[in-house]
Structure 1
Amino acid sequence: MDITITTNPSEQDVKDIRDGVIQHNLSKLGEVFFTDFACFTYYADGTKSGGLTGEILGQWLSIKFLWVDSESKGQGIGSKLLRQAELFALEHNCHSSLLDTFSFQARPFYERHGYQVEMTLRQHPIPTSERYFMTKTLSS
């Protein structure tokens, strides 16, 4: 058996691996709800001013990426995107949310929105930063 390492896997390569893991997980979890989702905000000209991607697995929301364009920071867009994702999760019977963020990103933002640090990886990805894994109990 040959093993190949590539630094530029195709979208199909990534999809094949992800689908394999999902199928394995579902075989162990039984019938559990799973979906990817995204929500966006736009400038008047139609370009994106912000967005959030995530997934729901069972009764957990997982925030993958939350981004707000630098020109729109401080206008509440990130808060609105996060709340929309949480409401979407509540509509799909989620009780909790999880995410991760780096020390140079948005820990205080998430703490203001009720997230608590569950685990800290020190010196990740470089010696001068940390990565925080955070959770929140969802409520309407």
Structure 2
Amino acid sequence: MTVAGEPNLIVGEQDSELTGRLERELDAFNEAATGAAPHGDVSVKVTDADGRLVGGLTAWVWGRLCGIELLWVREDCRAGGWGSKLIRAAEAEAVRRGCERMMVSSYTFQAPGFYQHHGYVEVGRVPGIPGGHADVYLTKALTDRGPGRE
């Protein structure tokens, strides 16, 4: 029962309105704290001759940092180098937008080795992922001025 004037605590499924509001509020707080406004999102996709998705990558840009959110390649196309092409295209776009560094997290059963092959360096890991796995955090300097190359 809710008493008038007291806050309501509501637990439920994903709430897109709440997500949008939290993103706006946190972006404003982060910009005030750092002086760097979010620069937006990046997407890269590959389609086959029939227009079907072969793979894609989504990322965000904030200040001089680009963070990969999602990278996926269709199973029957994984040996074609599309993951490498997607990541190189995203890195080039990040540099074009003034980024000096990339970051990504990948579960141990996914692709940390793929990112390391592309010059990413592990900077931390969080255990506790189901099946005894961990979430691996990696970063890569994109310019000679970036962290790790100073």
TM-score, normalised with respect to structure 2: 0.86
The question of 1:7 aligning with 2:6 is answered no
Query: In structure 2, what is the Cα distance between the partners aligned to 1:30 and 1:114?
Result: 29
Instruction: Tell me what 1:27 maps to.
Output: 32
Query: In structure 2, what is the Cα distance between the partners aligned to 1:14 and 1:50?
Result: 26
Query: In structure 1, what is the Cα distance between the partners aligned to 2:117 and 2:139?
Result: 12
Report the identity percentage.
26
The 3-state SS of whatever aligns with 1:94 is: coil
The 3-state SS of whatever aligns with 1:118 is: strand
Instruction: Tell me what 1:120 maps to.
Output: 125
Contact 2:47/2:53 (CA < 8 Å) preserved in 1?
yes
Match of 1:133 among 127, 132, 137: 137
Structure 1 stretches of at least 4 aligned residues deviating more than 4 Å after TM superposition? none
What's the CA shift string for 1:51-110, capped at 9, x where partnerless?
000001000010000000111111100000000000000011111110000010001111
TM-score, normalised with respect to structure 1: 0.92
State how many pairs are aligned: 138
- Larger of the two Rg values belongs to structure: 2
Instruction: Tell me what 1:80 maps to.
Output: 85
What's the CA shift string for 1:109-138, capped at 9, x where partnerless?
11100001100112x322510110000011
The 3-state SS of whatever aligns with 2:124 is: strand
Instruction: Tell me what 1:59 maps to.
Output: 64
Instruction: Tell me what 1:96 maps to.
Output: 101
Contact 2:27/2:38 (CA < 8 Å) preserved in 1?
no
Unaligned runs of 5+ in 1: none
What's the CA shift string for 1:6-48, capped at 9, x where partnerless?
1232x22211111111111112222535211211000111111
